[in-house]
Structure formats: structure tokens, C-alpha cells
Structure 1
Amino acid sequence: MNEPATARIRDLVTALRAAGVEKVDDSTRARAEYSTDASLYRVVPMAVAFPRSTDEVVAALQVAREQKVPVTGRGAGTSIAGNAVGTGLVLDFSRYLDAVLELDPQARTARVQPGVVLDSLQARARPHGLRFGPDPSTHGRCTIGGMIGNNACGSRALGYGRTSDNVAALRMVTGRGELLELRRGGTDEQAVSLDLARRAVRENLGVIRTEFGRFGRQVSGYALEHLLPERGFDVARAAVGSEGTWGILLDATVELLPLPSHTVLVALGYPDMAAAADACPAMLPHRPVAVEGLDSRIVDVVRARRSDVPELPPGQGWLFVELAGDDEAELHRRARSLAADSGALGHRIITGAAETAAIWRIREDGAGLAARPSGGHMAHAGWEDAAVPVERLGTYLRDFDELLDAHGLHGAPYGHFGDGCVHVRIDFPLDRPEGGSAYRSFIEAAAKLVASHGGSMSGEHGDGRARSELLRYLYSSEAIAALGAVKAAFDPDDLMNPGVLVDPRPLDADLRVPAARAHRSGLPMAFADDAGDFTKAVHRCTGVGRCRTPNSAASGGVMCPSFMATRDEKDSTRGRARVLQEMVNGTLVTGGWRAPEVHEALDLCLSCKGCASDCPTGVDMASYKATVLHQAYRGRLRPASHYSLGWLPTWARVGSRVPRLTNALLRAPGLAAIGKRVAGVDARRDVPEFARETFRRWFDRRTPPTGGDPVLLWVDTFTEHFTPEVGAAAVRVLEAAGYRVEISSPGQCCGLTWISTGQLDVARRRVTRALDELGARTADGRPVVGLEPSCTAVFRGDAEELVAPAHRDQAHRVADRFHTLSELLLDRPGWTPPDLAGTQVVAQPHCHQHAVMGWDADRSLLDAAGAEVQRVGGCCGLAGNFGAERGHYDVSVAVAETALLPAVRAASPGAVVLADGFSCRTQLAALSERRGLHLAQLLDGDAPRS
């Protein structure tokens, strides 16, 4: 950064703090995190502020006006058109201004701060039988302020309206510094900005009446139709969708709607997507709440990556139609009538909550999953949510497919077909030299196509940097001038989110992917799905922000445990990915693998691998962190914990030779404290006790049964040295199931602790040696069973990425034979689980199992046993070496408090706490009075035996 720019940033931050805005971050790391949203665009801000009150917002805007610094408001940063990035000051409302201030059930309204997450508002409204109408697929993390900025709609806007239809009042500060209190239906308030806006409307009445508000999803540009005199000069509704270019929202009063007593989902199959679109007008007389369209290209991707896709009617294109009402019998009659009028190849009427949720998950997850189709070609937003009148939708889709073919591109369309709105991710070649020009060529052609169908460039996400330049294809020059006049009325100095809507930036300027350099050589991991390119790997993150879902653990998710604990963007998977993207770009974060910004962003990553499964685009931050640590410390002195915790299997073998002496030394007050400090371990952590007898010694002295099918039990470090009782229980269960148990050789290790600390050369040697043994001993097809989920996950996932090319086929074969205990037993002919009827089980699936193997087999086994199971989402917080390292203890405990500890406290005294992971059981023992059991112990009856 040059000196004048540095001085200007310093002056801005100094002035903000002097004005009372204390939470300001101008660090390179923070600017990297906020340099992009969920769009293709990279725009580095001067600083990021986190206002804690409306007074701070007003003060921040005053400073920005005085210093002529642009201002961009931001909620969750899920904007896919580049609406939430800017060159000046970014105001993040999601950290502090996230409250529901008032909720009036009688008036059916709620007053909210701009940073409140939609699902949080819905949770407050639900006990009163109410809901906020619009529901974008990002409902778990998008904020009301962002929804107001973009006029968000979502799947059920057909029944509940757009955000602008559900806003009663807004309080905002304009670019002029005027505080406006706007109410739906019009305003008598006197202000310079309002007077100038009235004048602009009077001078453009004909243009506004003929070119704006032609159909429901015409979101492009400003909704100037609401400013017409016959509509009462309704500035509140017109401001919705202005994308922060008029001013900054302070709070909003939104209207709430009654929750229906019953809903029914009708799935309809058609020959193709266009045929499904042709059928949409026939759906509308049946008063649906939602009519969603989905293409086989989306469904096939979801089927390939998810196991819970329900059966769909025959066809290659589908409509999902939701009906709602209070009379269940009448609702079913309407559903049958709709199906009869649909002209579909087949249909299903779905009423079960679980299957309905699974259907909607196809729709919600499909876009992210389709962003990385097979072959490694990334699919991008950019031409994301065009809309046409619904009666033109089928014809538009056929023309759109021809346009894709003409440009050699591929896309997977889906969307709100009842409203004529189409979403699509397209494999623009942005990582190639010609990518920018190819992108522009297609986007301009697509804009002309939409305009020819009487449509809108944007149907709900706003225009942002992606489509503002295209407004000239939709509106006349007079209409464009009217947009500019209204913008100038509220923001004459063009400081509010400049480059958007009025005087737009070129649509191919500031693209993020072309700015990065490839990183292929010398990487220890294959990154096979990304053509061996670390740059492609980190650019998997498209910014959709699922990792920012504050309560994802409530629905069984794991990602991202540190963000759930801190609510800081730097601790989200997305925030880390953005810093890594800036590292490979090399212009903002300039220190490469050793850059302090990179290590600060990665510090609180638990390497839980939750993102590998929960992130729709498959970001695997654990692998990225391991790679960064490997590259950064290659040939250099490492942190102490890398030598202590990273080499734990070696030290454990030494310590277990004299377990009593080792335990005494580890607990001697003075010596233990010194040892922890030297080892980089937090002083508040207790070191687990070594078992008095290792598992192998127990195994060797027992009398095994004769006969049985051979199975190889992988003996991990934790089972061997710390919890041999788990291994003993597993052996008894396996033998009872008719297996003859053999065990892996002494000294073998999966290499996990070396992987998590980035010592990947050592890890590769360990894994390769283990694969050699496993390959030889399972050549006859015998299965391998692992007890520690993180070790099993290495062989099921990381091993193939880590070993040399010559060993990858072997790694693949071993992965096919490596099972969890539940997977092996569930498929065992003649074996039945013990009777657990009436047993309450609070289960904490290990993060690595959740991410790599899944927990479905465990759930099925427990269900078959009759147990009453409560699955806990989130992470235990210890996560191997993470929670033991000095500086991580507080976050480790906070992570445990997001889901695990509250669930355990709420469990009945007789409930079983099931936790297969050694880390999970260790954390549980340290922070609660409850003891965790491994599945093997539960199946064995948890009876102490010798």
C-alpha cells in the first residue's frame, strides 16, 4: 500500500474512534476478509467498523461525509451481485446490531435492528403463530438489513410477497446526513432529500409509469413506481431494494403473517425444465405459496453427494408446489386438483415433515453443490437471478439454453418459477486468460435476451456490481436519468455504496478469480479435485456463508464451531478462505505462506473438517491449514505444541511403558506446570492418564474364541494407551457377532496428529507404512474396523490425498475396506443389536465422522436397538490438539457451550452420553460431571470385565 493511502486510512480510523466508533479494524487481515461477499467481485475496503449502537452508525456516516469516504453497509455478506463490498468504510451490522427490539403479536409487527438474522426473527415470532414472509435459502444467516437492501424474496414470495411488501417502516440516515423516519403508505416528513426526490418524480412521471413496476419480480434498478403520486409517494417501499445507495438503515418495523396450520408439498415431474416452466401459469389459480423449479442437472449433483434425496416423480424437470391453509382436508383436495391440472408425467403429494424438509434441502443445497460439478470446472454466480413474466418463462429457458450452447458454457437452472425468476450457476472460464472477455460477452447477450422477453436482469438479489451496467438494456436513457436524479436526491456526493445502480462500475472490473495466481508446485497434498492447484482449492469458497450460521449446531451441523463461539468473520470458514485467497493473489496479503494475517486467520480453526461436508462447495479448511503449516514451517523451528501434541503417538508409546511413574510426573504440581509450559499446553488442561495396561497387553493375555470370520481391528494411539476398555468392549462385541478379531501391528499410526500440525512429510511416511500393512493384510478382502473416528477418517479421506501417486490406488482400496464399528455391524448377517428400548442416548458424533463417514449407520443401529436418540450438532471444542494448545482454552470451552454442554445438562440423569471420539470424551470429563461412552461400550453393556 502506498503512503498516501496508508495515511488516509489512518486518518479515517483516528476520526472514527474520536467520534465514538471504537470497534474499527483496518488490519490487512480484516480488509482481506471483507474484500468480497458471495459474488465474483474483489474490492478491498479501507477499514471495517462494527457499530454497537445507532449513535455510532450516525457518527460513522458523519466522519465518512467529512472525509469523502464511501460507505457500504453489510449484514452476513451473502450478496451474490457484489452489493456488499466497497472501497471505503464497510459497516458490519451483524456483530452487535442484531436484536429484535420489539415484537407486537396483536399488531403483527416487529421492530428489528439491521443485523438480526432472519431465522432469529422467525424463532421469536413462531411462538405467537407468526412469521416474516420472505424466506431466502440463506435464511439461517442472512440479515433483515441485507434483505431490505436487496428486496429479498425467497421461495414463498408467491404467497407472502417480497420484502418490500412486508416492511411497515424504516429509519435511515441518508447520504446527506438526514435522519428519515419513513412509513409505508407515504410520508409527510419534510427533508431536502424528500423534496428533491418529489421533484425528480414529477419530472419523470411518464417514464416511471411506463417502465417501472411492470411485473412482480422487476427488481432491477429502483422501485420508482412506489414514488408515484397515485401511490402516495411511498419512500419506505421504494427504499427497499436501493442496495444501500441512498443511505444506511438504522432499524426497521416489519409486518408478520400468520403461520398456516397445515402445508402440503406437491412434486410434479416433466420431460425437461422448460416444459415444467410452461406448466407454471396453470398452477397459479390454485393459490400456491411457492412454485419452485428444479432441473435434473441440480438434482443429479445433489444425489451424487447426499444420501437423503427423496424419490421424485419421473422426469428431467420438476416443480415443487407448496399449498398452505388451516383446513387439512381442503388442502388435500386442492393438492389433488392441482396435480390433475398440472399436465405432469407424474406427481407425489408429500405431507411428512422430514421428507418435505429433505425436498426443500435439494433446493437450498443444490446451488452450492452445483458450483463445483464433476471435472473440476467451477460454476459461478454472475448471471444469477434474471426474471421474466411467468407466461414467457418456458420460452425464455429454451432460448437461454441455446445461448449457453452458443457460448460453450454450461449451467444448472432452478428458481422461483411461479414468479418467473431463474437462478443459475455457470462455468465461466474465469481462471483462464480469456475468462474476463468471455464473461462479458455472455452477460451482455443474456441481458439482451431477458430484455427481449420483457424481463428484469435481477429478480430478487439486486443488481450490485454484476448487473448495474446492464440497466441500459432494460431501461431507456430517460429512465436511467430518473434513477440518477433520485439517487442524487438522497446521496448527492455518491458516497453510499458507489459503483452500484447509478454510475456503475464495469461488470467485468474487480473480478476476484482472475486476480489470483496458480499454486501447484511442491504441495504435500494432491488436491486432486482441484487439479492440484491450491488456488483453485481456496477459491471453492464462493462466499455463500453457511459457515456463518449462528445456530447450525441446532440442526446437526458442525461448521464452523469457532464462528459459532466468537461470531467474528475471521473465525468463519469463509473469512479464512478470503485471507487465503488474498495470499494467493499476493497484492494485499504479501507474506505468502508465512504471512501473519494467514496464521491469525487460521489460529482458531479447529481442523474439525466440518466444512468438508457442511460447506456446499466442499471447502476443506483442515487440509488448507495443514498445507499452510507445512509450507510455513518447512525447515524452520515450529511451535512447541507441534513437537509435543503433534508427536503424541511417539511420546505415548514411551510413557505407557511405565504408566504409574508417567502419571505421577504429569500430575506433580510444579513439574506438571513446567511441562505444560514447555509443551505449549494450556495450564488449565489436565493431561489424560495413561492406562495401567495397554490394549495390546489385554488382547494378548485373553483367551480368544475359535472360528469366525476374520476382521482386522485398527489399534489407534488413544485406544492403545489411554482407553483400552474401549478396545476390549469392541473385541467382545465383534466376537459376539461371529468375527475372529486380529489387530494391527505395534507402532502403526494413521498420522493424524502430524497432519493436524502440518508435519506432512512425517504424516506421509506414517500413512504409507500403515497402508502397506493394511493392503497386505486385507488382500483377501477382510474388513478393517476403526474405533477412533478421526483415525478412521484419515484412511477414508486424507490418506489418498496425502500419499505419493504410486500409493493412491492402494489407499483407495484400503478406504473401501475400512469401516466404523456401526457400519460393520449393521451389515452383519444374523447379528442383532442389544435391546436398548427406553434408553435415552445423547449422541455427540465426532466431527471427522460427520464430515467423512457420516453418522447414518450409527443412527440406524441405535434405532434398530430401540434407543431414544438425541443427536447433538456442533463440535466438542477440544478437537485433538486444538483445545489443549495454549491460547485456545477459552474458545474451546465456548465451542463446547454452543451445543454439547447444554444438551448434556438438559439430559436426564439416566441418559447415556455417547461420544466415540477420545477428544469428545476428554472434553466432556473436563467440563461436566457426565461420563461419555463409546458405541462399543454401549453395545457391550458397559459392564466392567477383565
Structure 2
Amino acid sequence: MTGTLAASPDTDVRARLAAACPDILIDTSVTSRAMYSYDASNYRVSPLAVAFPSSVEDVQTLLRTCHDLALPVTVRGGGTSMAGNAIGEGLVIDVSRGLRAIVDIDVDAKTAVVESGVVLDDLNRELVAHGLAFAPDPSSKSRATIGGMLGNDACGNHSVRWGRTSRHVIAVDVLLADGTMLRIGPDGITPVHRRDAAASERAAALESELRAMTQDNLAIMRTELGRIGRQVSGYHVDQMLPENGFNVARALVGTEGTCAIIVRATVQLVEPPAATSLLVLGYADVVDAATDVPLILPFEPTATEGIDDAIVATMIARRGADSVAALPEGRAWLYVELDGATQHDVHVKTENLLHELREAGRLLDGFVVDDPDQRKSLWRVREDGAGLSTRPDVDTQTWAGWEDAAVDPHVLADYLRDFRVLTAEYGLSGVLYGHFGAGCVHVRLTFDIATAEGRDHMVSFVHAAAELVVRHGGSLSGEHGDGRARSELLSTMYSPQMLHLFRRFREAFDPDGLLNPGIIVDPRPLGEDLLPLSTEGFVEAGGRDLLFTYPHDGDFGSAVQRCVGIGRCRSDHGGFMCPSYRATHDEKDSTRGRSRVLQDMVSGALGKDGWSSDAVHDALDLCLSCKACSSDCPVGVDMATYKSEVLQQKYRRRLRPVSHYSLGWLPRWIAITGRISGPVNALLAVRPIRLVAMRLGGVTTARRLPRFASSRRARLAASDANADVLLFVDSFTKGFRPDLVQHAETVLRATGTTVGAAPAGCCALTWTTTGQLTAARRILTETARVLDESGDAPIVVLEPSCAAALKKDLPELVPTDAARRVSARVTTFAAAIDARLDAGWQPPVLPDSVLTQTHCHQHAVFGATSSTKVMNRLGMKTVDVEGCCGLAGNFGFEAQHYETSMAVAAHDLRPKVEALDGGIAVADGFSCQTQISHVSDNDVRAQHLADVLHAALTDNNPQEGAS
């Protein structure tokens, strides 16, 4: 199932499926099938089709149809499975779009009824007003669905306190493979619809069989299951023991969609702790850290998480030193969260624990982290572990495969010690992190899955690792389920009698084996269906020369393999990624979806000339080239760069879309109109002429065109020799907001900075984003030359997108020493002001509070807080817009993308602008300013930080302002 997607013998089955379900979206396109061939594991299985039901009844219709067609079914939510349990060869049903209802919240009973597609973070946002939460909190909580958590019996950072998802399940509504709908809960197994006679009969027969198999297997259920808290592998049939109340609902949790499809669940809620404290502990290595875990557990922590120095180093390398709050001395760390009724109680508990750990002698250093921002920074390092550990450095790629084994935490140190010996024997290295308080260790290892020898080596190691963890009384899986990665190994962990019981349990629900086949029962060999990673010959195919140099990956093929399916880009909140997915909730419009299609392209699955594939361009169409993924994606996927390269290759020596000429050549038009701005503006003021010009240029007529300015206005009042900084006047500033140049100059001089004019040049941003890379390289080569000859003073660029292009795109398109030197000198206006504050400059009185829209490119290249941090230092409280403004340079001006652009703006920008009553909006990016003006119903006009400071200086010192 890993071959080309271009042709398929299953056309008749697809047609019958579509005919039987005419009101349900069923996608058989190459694009969709490519994306859904993957989850977050090492496996790829191409589905026949992908369905997107909008209701429980739709799922029932799909299952009935697939049962009639004998078509296998795999249901998935966020698609973040790391064991290969969310991909399948038949129909994949994605419930994350349509089954998102929070049906009921009972505050008194502390319960909630939710559909399986509800995202965990969305549920908890609804619950916070009631002082309640759904306790399991996997690191993927921003995109993990409740159905997926039920499928894997997910746990999370606080499982040492709250346990697994199964502990919090009261009842489930399920669909069997033939579409029979049942309710399984405290009242036993009953039909959801009482008058459904067939369902009643099936419920009675199923309950009878489950009781019989329980009675037949009491001994092995009591001795082989439930031995440690994180025994996730296999089926949890011990929940049906008499002492567990014959709890079939909990027995179904963790079945990975192989027995029944959970479409709705009633879950128990908890009250979050009244007071907490985060203690960070430093150790020489992870074994020392694990050795201290048994000393910590009696203090009843809510979390005890471990990380090693490789994750921290990767985080700092990728996102800068500011991305990681101060850590104690050490090469491994434990995060220990303690709680209590009051902060005083927590403080006492913390001091007692620190004393005991110091007495034990392994702790190098430890302290309490009270600052909320520092806590958030530290938790993000832990939560991004799976992604950060994928590419710990330029030359290393790590993979899942032996990813989340668990042991009793009291033997964790012994297991880790032996595990390190085993990895050394196999010549493997990896990154360790995990839920140390629960004995669960995540590790990604340097497997070679691109060659047959490497795959055989991986299989051999995994079998040896399985024997090792079983010798330590542990579980093959402690969190992510068995899937394709571990199902074959269950015979290492369980007796033949238990494996027979698992089969009997599954067949009681799904006798035909249509639900997620190859998982747990009758497993697929773990070495089959692995990703096709070979890209040999791809880059050179057709004699194409790639324009970007991909210094962090080596080539385009390796670059697009960065995505391992973690799916942070599918989050609706936090960071800037991925704006188009937030607008459409379509996998095709996520960074992950695009990456998966590109991976199929480089592996040859899309045919010989994937550069021109409709699937590729369908996936890339709504990419805003915002660059947010390059910083927000834990593995550093840079989709803006990949899109530029694909556009370059597709339109090589071909006619391009008209907007590539109108908007892609914008700096050229600005240079022309700058000499005749008056006549141009007069012509464009005539509505018929303006509309014709916009339509001919592929530009949406729903927007106002900005007025062109005279190029003579965008000049410094004076240019100092041997200046402290050089001010670079970019095309957007020159063409549309020339007064900004004098404002910035005035402000910089007021800080005691001497200012010179940087040589004229262009960052080639618009050519780059439209994939005109030959022209972009030519332009940037000249820009690098003239700027390199200007000395070594910092180059302050007023437009954030241009600053980002000179900082990042320049050395990656022009791999010369001159380009790298120029890149190192480039800085933003905000950073220049930050430096003057460090030097002791006292700013004028500024507004108390401002709405801030950070440009996506600034966020990605210069840091998430590179702008707001400076405003806070200036004394302005910032209300930050979450995510992209939606205009994104040429994207929001293109006629075919206008609606998506406005949908992105509606996510957070528009509501905050509409709520701004007489306040100030600060947005340094010209695109952001334009979008704010467009969405504003109350005449909000965004200003550059230089404008705000200039106005304050003018008000406080008229003579200074007039200089």
C-alpha cells in the first residue's frame, strides 16, 4: 500500500461508496489520500478514500455501507498516533471536523458528554468557567480529540496524579462495524434507541459473551493485566472483572478502534488544584534523575516529568536562548509540580522535598519557578519533546519505533541503565524524555529506515527492547497504544492464553475484523508498511536546479521529511501556525497536510513530475507563506520556503498567474510609480479604471488600493558618517509610508544613536513568495554586495517582512560570505530600540496599553516576543493578537484568496480591532497595517512603533519633534 497514488484498481468500490452515501463528503482525490496515508508514526498506508461525517448518523451510514462492501474502516481524530494506529487501507473516517459538539456539562455531577471529535483544549476552555477540567493532558492536547484519547487510553504530564483516560470514562456510545449503535455504561450494554429491536438483541448477546469470557479467564486477567499504572499494551479486559464492576466502557478504552467506534462519551471531570508550585531539579544524567523518583512520589506530585540536555540544546538552537527559562545545573532535569490547599502548604511541601533530595546526594541543583512566563517556557520544552528530538542537530534524524515503553517507577532507573547498554550495543543514540513519575519513557532513536539493512536492524532492536522491558515487569506501550509498531510484540509480553482472550474480545464486537485490521489481533509485521524515505535522484529529475540551498537539511527531499506528523499546526490557539488551517479546519490546509503531500512527491508516489502535480498545488494553494511554521513547528518545517521552490519549478520557463507579475513585481512598479505617483493615484481614483486594473492584475476588488508615494519623500534628513546604525529603506516603506523614514530617524537620534542611510537595495520578498527565485537570487546578490560594502554597522530595516527576508532568505538563496555577513547585521527597529533601552535611554511617556499585531515573519525569524517585549519595556501593556492578520503580503490581495484572508482575520484580529475603542493598534508590518484598516469598522489605523514613539517625542518635546 505504499506505491503510487496516481492510479488505483478500486474505482468501482469508491463509486459504490459514494453512491450509498450521497450526503457525506467522501474524498478520493490523490491529495487527500496522500495526506491520510500518514499519522505521526513511521508508517504509511494509502487509504481507498477519506470520509468527513458531520454527525453520528453519518458515521453510522458509512459503517453500514463499508460492512456491505467488506471494506476496512479506520477512524481518526487529530491523526497524531505515534504507533501507526490511525492509518488504514480501506476507508479512513476523520471525525475531527464534524463531530465536535460538547453535548452537555453537568457542573453538580462533574461530568460532560462530548462527541469524539472534540479537541481536548476546546473542552477545557469551556470547562474553566465552571472550575472544572478533563484531567488527562497529553502533550498533543491542542489538537488531540477525545475520541483519539479514548482510542489510545491517553495519559499526559499529570498522569501521576490523574491516571489514564480510562479512569475518567463513565459511559460511551459506540457503533459496531455493521452500524449497530449501543450505549455502554453503568447500566450495562443497551441500545441507544430503545425501540431498536435488532440493537437490543445484539446488546444482550454481546453482554452475555463478554460475561462468559470474563468468567472463563479470571485467573489470567488478574495476573497478567493491571500490573503497573501505565500498562497500556493489549486490551484492558481486566476492567470487566467482578471487582472492577464489569466495566465494559473502560475495557473499550485503548482498543485503538479495533472493536467499536466510540462516537460519544460521558466523562468524569475534576477540580484543578487550588495552589501549585513547579520545582525544577537538575541531575548529572537521566539515570540519577530516575533514581530519585521514588523519593518524590510520597509527596504526591501532580506531575513528575523528565527531559535530557539534547532537547534543551535543540530548543535553544532553534528558537534562541530566550526560549528556555533558566534551568539548574545538570544534563537532565525533572519538573515536579506539587499542589496544596494554599500556596503556603505548597511552599512547605516543596522545601521538605528539596531537603530530602539534597540529603540523598544525587541532586545537583533545584529551585522553584513561580513566574508564569518561565513556567510556560519550561513546559513548552517538555511538550515539544517529540518534535524537538526528531532533528536534534543538522546531521541527525531520529524516529519512533520504540517510543513509549513503561515500567514501575521504582525500577525506572534500572530499566534506563539497561536500556542505554542495549542502545549502545546496537550503535543507536536518542533523546530521552517522559513521564518519569509514571515510569513511562519516550525515546526517539537514530534508526535508518531508508534502507533494507537499516529496517532489519530496527526490527531486531525493537524485539530486543521488548524482551528488556518485559524482564523489568513493564509494558511495551505506556501511552500511545500498540498500533503497527508494537502489536507484533504482544506475544513477548503476554501468554498465548491472553492473546487468545484478546482475539475473543475483539471478535465479540467485530467478528469480521473490519475495524482497523492489523492492530493488536492478527498484527501486521512491524517492519512492513514503513515510510518510503528514498529520494535518490529526485532533486535532479528533469535536470532541474533547485534555488534554495537548504543549509539545515542538505536538499529539498530531506527538508520536506522534517514533518513527522505531530500536528501542532492543527491547533486553533497558541502561536501563529497554521493560519489557513484555523480558517478551514481542512487537513489539506495544515502544514502537516502539505508536508505529507510533498513527501509523497519526493518519494515518487505522485508520478514522475510531482512538481507540477495537481495534488501538490492543491495542498499549497492556501499556504500564506507566513513562515510561522519555521518557528512554531517543533521540527522546524519551513513551508514558505518549500512553496517558493515548488512554484519556481512548476513555472520554470512557463507563463505564470497574472498576480505573480502584478504583486510579485511590486517593487519594480513602486520604483516606476515613485516618479509619477500623482498621475498614477489620480488614474486609480477613477473607479472604472481602478476596477479594470485590479481585475487584470488578479487583485481582489474587495480591497482599497494603497496610494503610491513619491520616492523623494522616503529619505533621511541627514546621513551620518561612521554611523551607529544604517537605516534601510525598503520598497513598502518607500512606496506607501515614506513618513516612517523620518519618524524612525528622529526616534533613533533621540536615543543618542547616529544614523546613516543604507545603500539602496531590495529584499526580493515578493519575488521569493511567488516562487520567482531566479530573479530573487539575482536581486539579492546585488543587495548583498552593496550592503556588505557599507561597513559593519547594524542595518535597521523598518518593514519586518523585509528584515526577515534579508536575515533568512538572503543567505539561503545566496550562499556567499557577503550574504552571511549582511544577514548577521540585519535587525528590526524594535530590536534597535531594545538595545538603546539596555544602554540606559529613557523613553517618553507612551500610551498605557496598545493592541499589537506582530508580523508573522518577525515572529518566525526574530522571535515570538521580539516586538511585544520591547513595548512592555517601554511601559506599554500589550494586548496581543493571536496569529496571522491574514493579509500575508500578496496572498490577501489575490482575488482567489480574499475569502480565506478574511477568515484568518476573523480568528482573532477582527474581534480585537472591533473591541478597540479609541485605543492604539501597533503593527510594524505594512500588510498588517493594511489588514487592520480593512477590517476596522471604527476607523482604527495601525501605526509602526516608530510612529508611536515619534508622536510621543513630538508631544513631549516640540523642538525635538520638529528636527
Which bin holds the TM-score, normalised by the shorter protein? over 0.9
Do the aligned residues in 1 keep the contact of 2:52 with 2:98 (CA within 8 Å)?
yes
Aligned letter for 1:648?
Answer: L
Residue type matched to 2:206 in 1? Answer: S
1:198 maps to 2:211: yes
Structure 1 position 561 matched with structure 2 position 579: yes
Deviates more, 1:179-188 or 1:387-396: 179-188
Partner of 2:307 in structure 1? 294
Equivalent in the alignment of 2:684? 666
Of 53, 59, 72, the match for 2:55: 53
The answer on whether the counterparts of 1:513 and 1:539 sit within 8 Å (CA) in structure 2 is: no
Tell me the alpha carbon deviations over residues 313-364 of structure 1, each in whole angstroms, 9 at most, x when there is no partner: 2222222111122222222111111222223222212333222222211211
Query: Secondary structure at 1:870's aligned position in 2?
Result: strand
**Aligned twin of 1:117:** 119
Per mean C-alpha deviation after superposition, the further-off stretch among 876-885 and 706-715 is 706-715
Q: Single out whichever of 350-359 and 146-155 deviates more from structure 2.
A: 350-359
Distance of aligned partners of 1:3 and 1:876 in 2 relative to their CA distance in 1, 3 Å threshold: closer
* Residues 518 and 536, structure 1, Cα contact 8 Å, conserved in 2: no
| 1:179, distance to aligned residue in structure 2 (A) | 2.0
Q: Residues 91-490 of structure 1: matches in 2 within 5 Å?
A: 91-184=93-186, 187=189, 190-306=203-319, 307-342=322-357, 343=360, 344-490=363-509
Partner of 2:653: 635
Corresponding letter in the other structure for 1:794: A
Q: Residue in 2 aligned with 1:867?
A: 876
Partner of 1:538: 560
The one-letter code matched in structure 2 to 1:579 is V
Counterparts in 2 of 1:464-613, with a 5 A limit?
Answer: 464-514=483-533, 516-517=535-536, 519-521=538-540, 522-532=545-555, 534-552=556-574, 557-588=575-606, 591-613=609-631
Match of 2:715 among 699, 720, 743: 699
- Aligned position for 2:758: 744
TM-score (norm 2): 0.94
Q: Is the 8 A contact 2:190 2:204 kept in 1?
A: no
One-letter amino acid of the structure 1 residue matched with residue 941 of structure 2? R
Letter in 2 for 1:872: V
| Structure 2 residue runs without a partner (length 5+) | 1-5, 192-202, 955-960
User: Which residue in the other structure is 1:939 paired with?
Assistant: 949
The secondary structure found in structure 2 opposite 1:90 is: strand
- Measured after TM superposition, the shift of residue 624 of structure 1 is 0.3
1:534-933 alignment runs, 5 A limit: 534-552=556-574, 557-588=575-606, 591-691=609-709, 693-694=710-711, 696-697=712-713, 699=715, 702=717, 704=718, 709-746=723-760, 748-778=761-791, 781-803=792-814, 805=815, 807=816, 809-828=817-836, 830=839, 832-909=841-918, 911-928=919-936, 929-933=939-943
Q: 1:687 to 1:272 in 2, by over 3 A?
A: same
Q: Distance in 2 between matches of 1:203 and 1:858?
A: 66
Task: Give 1:210 deviation, angstroms.
Answer: 1.5
Tell me if structure 2 keeps the 8 A contact 1:708–1:738: no
Matched-pair contact (CA < 8 Å) for 1:543–1:574: yes
- Residue 19 of structure 2 corresponds to residue 14 of structure 1: yes
Letter of the 2:930 partner, please give it.
T
Displacement of 1:176: 4.5
Paired residues of 2:78 and 2:143 also in contact (CA < 8 A): yes
What SS does structure 1 have at the residue aligned with 2:10? helix
Count residues with an aligned counterpart: 927
Cα distance in 1 between the residues matched to 2:107 and 2:608: 53
5+ residue gaps, structure 1 = none
Aligned with 2:385: secondary structure?
helix
Q: Deviations over 1:647-679 (max 9, x none)?
A: 111111112211121112223222222211221
> Letter of the aligned partner of 2:285 in structure 1?
D
Please, what TM-score do these two structures have when normalized by structure 1? 0.95
- Report how far residue 740 of structure 1 moved: 3.7
User: What code does the residue aligned with 2:798 have?
Assistant: L
Q: Is the 8 A contact 1:655 1:690 kept in 2?
A: yes
CA distance in 2, matches of 1:705, 1:611: 38
Supply the distance in 1 between the matched residues of 2:229 and 2:323 (Cα, whole angstroms): 34
Mapped partners of 2:754, 2:354: distance in 1: 56
- C-alpha offsets along residues 356-381 of structure 1, whole Å, 9 cap, x if unaligned? 22221121123311210113321112
Q: Deviations over 1:439-479 (max 9, x none)?
A: 21211111111111111010011111111111111011111
How big is the alpha-carbon RMSD for the aligned residues of Structure 1 and Structure 2? 1.9
- Residue 591 of structure 1: CA displacement? 4.5
| Kept in 2: contact 1:72–1:90 (CA 8 A) | yes
Q: Within 1, Cα distance between the matches of 2:857 and 2:595? A: 20
1:60-107 deviations in whole A, cap 9, x for unaligned? 110010001111111111111111111111111111111211000000
Shift of residue 763, structure 1, vs aligned partner: 0.2
Tell me the secondary structure at the aligned position of residue 777 of structure 1.
coil
Q: Note closer, same or farther for the CA distance 1:636–1:181 as it changes in structure 2 (3 Å cut).
A: same
Once residues 3 and 620 of structure 1 are traced to their aligned partners in structure 2, the CA distance between those partners, rounded to angstroms, is 32
Q: Using the alignment, how far apart are the partners of 2:442 and 2:329 within structure 1?
A: 23
CA contact (8 A) 1:299 1:366 kept: no
Distance 2:561 2:134 in 1: 34
Partner AA of 2:515 in structure 1: M
Tell me which moved more, 936-945 or 310-319.
Answer: 936-945
Question: Bigger shift: 264-273 or 595-604?
Answer: 264-273
Q: Distance in 2 between matches of 1:144 and 1:630?
A: 41
Give, in angstroms, the shift of residue 920 of structure 1: 0.6
**Distance in 2 separating the partners of 1:836 and 1:439:** 63
SS in 1 for 2:807: helix
Cα distance in 1 for residues equivalent to 2:35 and 2:879 = 36
Q: Identity percentage over the alignment?
A: 47
Give 1:191's aligned amino acid.
A
Give, in whole Å, the separation in 2 of the partners of 1:800 and 1:861: 27
Q: Which amino acid aligns with 1:437?
A: D
The secondary structure found in structure 2 opposite 1:514 is coil
Q: Distance in 1 between matches of 2:707 and 2:669?
A: 13
After TM superposition, give the deviation of residue 193 of structure 1 in Å: 2.8
Amino acid across the alignment from 2:274: S
Give the Å deviation of 1:945.
6.4
Cα distance, 1:722–1:247 mapped onto 2, change above 3 Å? same
CA contact (8 A) 1:840 1:869 kept: yes
CA pair 717-837 structure 1, distance change in 2 beyond 3 A: closer
SS of residue in 1 equivalent to 2:323: coil
Per the TM alignment, residue 184 of structure 1 is displaced from its structure 2 partner at its CA by 4.7
Q: CA deviation at 1:305?
A: 2.8
Counterpart CA distance in 2 for 1:290 and 1:184 is 30
Paired residue secondary structure (2:140): coil
- In 2: Cα distance, 1:380 partner to 1:531 partner: 19
**Deviation at residue 11 of structure 1 after TM alignment:** 1.8
Structure 1 residues 225, 712: closer, same or farther in 2, change over 3 A? same
The residue type equivalent to 1:728 in the other structure is Q
Structure 1 residue 724: deviation in Å?
0.1
The answer to whether the 8 Å contact 1:579/1:589 transfers is: no
**Structure 2 CA distance for aligned equivalents of residues 185 and 273 of structure 1:** 46
